[in-house]
A and B are shown apart, each in its own frame.
Chain A
Amino acid sequence: MNENYQNLTKQERRELRRQEKEQFVKGLQHKRLTKRVLLWLVVVIVIGGAVWGMVRLGTGGESSQPSSLVDTASLLDWSKGDKEGKVILVEYSDFQCPACGTYYPFVKQLVQEYSNKIKFVYRHFPLPNHRNARSAAEAAEAAGKQEKFWEMHDILFENQREWSERIGAKEIFEKYAKTLELDLERFKTDLALKEIKEKVENNYQSGIKSGVNATPSFFLNGKKIQNPRSYDEFRIIIEQASNTNS
């Protein structure tokens, strides 16, 4: 390069230096631009990937270990639908849980639609952090003593907001008992029975044994399923189970 410089006039050398400087600056600018483009590209990919990941996680249901039902449906359970049905859906539920309240109409409609195909079993899983969940379960059991378990089950879910956080929820349950035309004195006496408290506790313990830690938890033919996102998804799951068994 120095030889080249020597053969040039002063003005040419100045021009050459200017061009070299320009090239150097351009090179720097180009490098910086590439860096910037790469940086923002990575950011867009990372944000896109994060959103995609969260959509997958959020729509995949609650993460849970696949578990099996330890205590299979028995005569002690409250059930409806086809009593001899080959498709058995067991729900561990809490009357005070809003998510259970959301699933309640789905399950009801499902049992009506597939009344000749599925047997639906309801089991209590009153969460300790729900103030009135256990007493609501006991109220349903007391109504069951007068053959109105399902009627009380429905009324409790349909009016969940009315009694959930109330201190005197028992009075509301008695009001429901009256609405259902139960023998109120018997209902009150039954509510205090040890047998009823034990039934609710046994349901709860059977849920613990089957790995239930949240409500609602559904077991289809003994296997825990991911909670469906919609009624249609629920139907598909039942249809598939029904086709597999037939």
Chain B
Amino acid sequence: MMSSELSSSKPQTQIPKWLVWCFATASFIGFLDATYLTVKHYLGTPITCSVFADCEKVTSSQYAVIGGIPVALLGACYYLFIFILVIAYVDTKKDHILYAIARITPVGFLASLWFIYLQLFVIQAICLYCIFSAFTSTILFGLGIILLKFKDKALI
């Protein structure tokens, strides 16, 4: 009975710790970035125009808000959701939570591709914070692929 109690808390397959840490770190950094932009949207001064980037043009464009909700807030919720799921995995060690994350990450990746396209070809301005967010969501997507490949290997 005791051994079954203990074994139930063990992972079903041995997912490398670095992968879990990478998921947690990337989603947390993405959350910080998107939260900063959300704060700027609601409370901050207009992001100034600089020699290096043209953030204000992007964040004040019609594409920065969907149905009255700033895209940055949606991004912050997305990253927070992933971060909470990673912690839930750390807590319960249930592999299917991580696999669920891996299946969610294409959403963020595709959204990022769309926003990069908008910045480059429609708005014709680059917001470094948005590029950074695209970078983190791409990393999450990459980690998701690695995880799913790992799962396939484990099944074989």
Contacts and interface: CB of A to CB of B under 8 A. Distances in A.
Given A40-B87, A50-B35, A127 B43 contact: no
A222 interface: no
Interface in B44-72: 44-51, 53-54, 56-57, 60
B132 interface: no
B35 A51 contact: yes
B136 to A, nearest CB: 14
Given A25-B2, A97-B56, A229-B43, A215 B35 contact: no
Output the residue of B38, B49, B80, B84 with the most chain A CB within 10 A. Answer: B49
B45 A98 contact: no
B48 A99 contact: yes
Interface string A159-182: 000000100000000000000000
B45 A50 contact: no
Contacts of B50: 127, 213-215
A98 B60 contact: yes
Contacts, number: 96
B13 interface: no
A190 to B, nearest CB: 27
Contacts of A185: none
Chain B, interface residues (CB within 8 Å), range: 35 or more
A70 interface: no
For the complex, would chain B's binding face be called helix, strand, loop or mixed by DSSP majority?
helix
A230 to B, nearest CB: 9
B39 interface: yes
B61 to A, nearest CB: 9
Interface in A1-49: 21, 24-25, 28, 32, 36, 39-40, 43, 46-47
A8 B83 CA distance: 54
B14 interface: no
Interface residues of A, number: 42
Interface string A110-134: 0000000000000000011110000
Given A32-B9, A55-B43, A165-B124, A50 B28 contact: yes
A213 B51 contact: yes
Interface of B: 1-2, 5-6, 9, 28, 31-32, 35-36, 38-40, 43-51, 53-54, 56-57, 60, 80, 83-84, 87, 90-91, 124-125
Given A53-B32, A127-B50, A130-B54, 18 more contacts: A40-B87, A47-B83, A50-B31, A50-B35, A57-B39, A61-B44, A62-B47, A98-B46, A98-B57, A128-B51, A129-B51, A129-B53, A129-B54, A130-B49, A217-B48, A226-B45, A227-B46, A229-B43
